[in-house]
């Protein structure tokens, strides 16, 4: 026993020689499990050389009845591929069945959360193109540019504890096609967060408040969900009053009332590849 | 470095025969059916006192580099919980320090306290010691049973992780002071 104590103290004395007074700033990582909170972007992005394939499903509303199996008969899908050009720049392309839409986006990380910065600061910018139908293209007033929409976003996120992270998302949308009397450049403020229930399961939430005047049917998006990470895959199960998976859709075309049961069940599966 | 040197020169360690390194290599290897996982930490630190036989080694868990950044994130977040348990240390003594003959390479027995994932365990290991170009070279291989250190392997994981991990240490320590 004495010997063990002696051994212990020997080494312990020496440990103090190893502590580095010029340690590098410590970067806080793993704020979110996936690159999306639910629908909205999170502070996570693909790191250098990492590919991620993402399949997102959105079913019909839960209040659509037994006949539609509470929405399960009716699904919309987005398939997307993300790629990390560097640890700070990630690009993404995707195609949604909603409005037969193509999207391309870039996410750039300006600051990591560390001893020097209290938050992660990133910028996100996206372009959306609705594939025009043959009949639409025959119309006299058809213009290709009218099929385009854009979104620009600041991503400000902070990990408050190993379990809780919060995110603020000031967002600008530009619509080339918009309803009379509404803005072509509406502004929104998004708030979101995640809480870790266990090492691999988190509960996520997000809400976007419209700062600009919106059509009477407009509802602010509210989503709640779970992320389940299994090492390489993330499964995300969630409920939202929006069915859109792209910023301009879930911000300007949400008309469901969450508290009236206009809730869409959805799930995402993401898989990371690297070589 | 210089600060430490000065401290040591003017402290009671003046008669010590201490060797120190701040850039040792620690790597581990997990061999499993689907995927072999290997990670390296090039910032391991260590100090050995050849007068008393005492030693201390320390690594920061976040300094392990994996070939795949997602694995690295999961290693830190889900397995090692490196925010909660940032370092691993091994402190103890060389069993028969007076028998060490630095003129040739030799095997030594060490015992001490191993701290990993917040768990302390008494461990005995063997290491190889030699003196080359004024530098003390120490290398060792040993196995870690993850269960001994409360590191869980969940059943739903998509990749498999071995229950026993092979660890490899290689370090060149420089002499700090003369007797």
Confidence (pLDDT) at B13 = 44
Alpha-carbon radius of gyration of chain B: 18
Cβ(B138)–Cβ(B129) below 8 Å:
yes
- Whole-angstrom CA distances from A156 to A40, A205, B72 are 12, 15, 24
Instruction: Compute the distance between CA of residue B148 and CA of residue B65 in angstroms, rounded to an integer.
Output: 23
- CB–CB contact B90 A13 (8 Å): no
- H or E segment at B129? strand B119-132
The answer to whether residue A274 scores a pLDDT higher than 80 is: no
Which of A4, A14, A231 is the closest to B47 by Cβ? A14
Task: Tally the residues of chain B.
Answer: 179
Give the three-class secondary structure for A196.
Answer: strand
Confidence band of A166 (pLDDT split at 50, 70, 90) = very high
Would you say the C-alpha torsion B159, B165, B171, B176 has a positive or negative sign? positive
Token pair for B1: 């470095």
pLDDT tens-digit profile, chain B (179 residues): 444 444 444 444 445 588 999 999 999 998 877 678 899 999 999 999 998 899 999 999 999 999 888 888 888 988 899 989 999 999 999 998 888 888 889 999 999 999 999 999 999 999 999 998 889 999 999 999 999 999 887 765 555 677 889 999 999 999 886 54
Selected residue of A1, A6, A9, A14 to mutate for chain B interface (largest B Cβ count, 10 A): A14
Nearest to A35 by CA among A114, A107, A136, A131: A107
Confidence (pLDDT) at B119 = 95
Nearest to A151 by CA among A81, A191, A103, A192: A103
Give the three-class secondary structure for B80.
Answer: coil
Would you say the C-alpha torsion A95, A98, A101, A104 has a positive or negative sign? negative
What is the value of pTM for the model shown? 0.82
- H or E segment at A209? strand A201-210
How many other C-beta atoms can be found within 10 angstroms of the C-beta atom of residue B159?
A: 16
Instruction: Compute the distance between CA of residue A4 and CA of residue A117 in angstroms, rounded to an integer.
Output: 44
Instruction: Compute the distance between CA of residue B127 and CA of residue A78 in angstroms, rounded to an integer.
Output: 56
Which of A21, A199, A232 is the closest to B70 by Cβ? A232
Instruction: Compute the distance between CA of residue B56 and CA of residue B75 in angstroms, rounded to an integer.
Output: 24
Strand partners, A106: A91, A125
Confidence (pLDDT) at A119 = 97
| A-B C-beta contacts closer than 8 Å | 106
Give the tens place of pLDDT for each residue, A142-161.
Answer: 888 999 999 999 999 999 99
Alpha-carbon radius of gyration of chain A: 22
Closest alpha carbon within chain B to A48: B69
Which residues in chain A are closer than 8 Å to B87, comparing Cβ atoms?
none
Give the tens place of pLDDT for each residue, A35-75.
Answer: 999 999 999 999 999 999 999 999 887 777 777 777 777 78
Nearest to B108 by CA among B117, B116, B99, B119: B99
Cβ(A37)–Cβ(A204) below 8 Å:
yes
Task: Tally the residues of chain A.
Answer: 275
- CB–CB contact B55 A26 (8 Å): no
């Amino acid at each position: 026993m004495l010997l063990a104590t002696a051994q212990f103290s020997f080494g312990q004395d020496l440990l103090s020689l190893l502590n580095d007074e010029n340690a590098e700033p410590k970067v806080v990582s793993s704020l979110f499990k996936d690159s999306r909170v639910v629908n909205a972007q999170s502070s996570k992005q693909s790191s250098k050389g990492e590919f991620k394939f993402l399949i997102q499903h959105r079913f019909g509303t839960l209040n659509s009845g037994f006949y539609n199996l509470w929405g399960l008969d009716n699904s919309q899908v987005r398939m997307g591929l993300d790629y990390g050009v560097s640890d700070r720049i990630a690009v993404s392309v995707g195609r949604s069945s909603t409005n037969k839409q193509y999207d391309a986006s870039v996410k750039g990380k300006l600051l990591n959360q560390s001893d020097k910065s209290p938050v992660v600061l990133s910028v996100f910018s996206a372009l959306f193109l609705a594939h025009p139908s043959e009949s639409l293209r025959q119309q006299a007033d058809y213009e290709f540019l009218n099929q385009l929409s854009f979104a620009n976003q600041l991503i400000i996120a902070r990990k408050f504890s190993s379990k809780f992270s919060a995110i603020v998302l000031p967002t600008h949308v530009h619509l080339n096609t918009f309803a009379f009397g509404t803005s072509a450049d509406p502004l929104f403020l998004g708030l979101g967060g995640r809480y870790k229930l266990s090492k691999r399961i988190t509960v996520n939430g997000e809400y976007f408040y419209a700062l600009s005047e919106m059509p009477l049917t407009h509802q602010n998006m509210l989503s709640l969900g779970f992320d389940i990470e299994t090492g390489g895959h993330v499964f995300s199960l969630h409920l939202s009053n929006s069915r859109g998976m792209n910023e301009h859709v879930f911000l300007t075309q949400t008309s469901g009332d969450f508290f009236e049961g206009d809730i869409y069940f959805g799930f995402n599966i993401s898989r990371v590849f690297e070589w | 470095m210089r600060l430490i040197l000065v401290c040591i020169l003017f402290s009671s360690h003046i008669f010590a025969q201490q060797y120190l390194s701040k850039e040792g290599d620690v790597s581990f290897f997990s061999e499993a059916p689907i995927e072999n996982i290997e990670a390296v930490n090039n910032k391991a630190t260590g100090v050995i006192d050849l007068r008393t036989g005492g030693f201390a080694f320390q690594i920061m868990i976040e300094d392990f580099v994996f070939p795949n950044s997602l694995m690295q994130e999961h290693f830190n977040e889900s397995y090692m919980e490196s925010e909660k348990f940032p370092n691993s240390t091994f402190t103890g003594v060389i069993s028969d320090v007076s028998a060490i003959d630095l003129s040739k390479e030799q095997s030594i027995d060490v015992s001490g306290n191993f701290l990993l994932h917040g768990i302390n365990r008494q461990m005995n290991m063997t290491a190889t010691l030699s003196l080359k170009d004024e530098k003390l070279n120490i290398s060792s291989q040993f196995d870690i049973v993850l269960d001994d250190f409360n590191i869980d392997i969940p059943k739903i994981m998509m990749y498999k992780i071995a229950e026993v991990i092979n660890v490899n240490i290689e370090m060149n320590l420089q002499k700090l002071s003369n007797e």
